[in-house]
Amino acid sequence: MISLLFRSLRSIVSIFTAAGSPRQLAFGIALGAMIGLVPKGNLTAAVLSILLLTLRVNLAAGVAAALLFSWLGAWTDPLAHCIGSAILTHSSVQPIGARLVDLPVVPWTALNNTVVLGNLVLGLVLFYPVYWLSYVFFERHRDRVAEKLEKYKVAIVLEKTEPATQWRLR
Question: Which pLDDT score is estimated for 138?
Answer: 87
**Identity at 41, one-letter amino acid code:** G
Q: How confident is the model at residue 145 (pLDDT cuts 50, 70, 90)?
A: confident
The domain segmentation of the chain, as residue ranges, is: 7-164
H-run or E-run covering 52: helix 43-54
Cα gap 128→130, rounded to integer Å = 5
**For the chain, how big is the Rg over CA atoms in Å?**
19
Whole-number percent of the chain with pLDDT over 70: 76
The pLDDT tens digits of the residues spanning 21-78 come to: 889 989 999 999 999 999 999 999 999 999 999 999 988 889 989 999 999 888 999 9
Q: How confident is the model at residue 169 (pLDDT cuts 50, 70, 90)?
A: very low
Statement: residue 110 has pLDDT above 50? yes
Tell whether pTM > 0.85.
no
- Name residues whose C-beta falls within 8 Å of residue 130's C-beta, 6 or more positions apart in sequence: 29, 30, 33, 65
Q: What is the three-class DSSP state of 165? A: coil
Q: What's the average model confidence in pLDDT over 94-111? A: 88
Contact 42, 120 (CB under 8 A): no
Cα gap 129→114, rounded to integer Å = 23
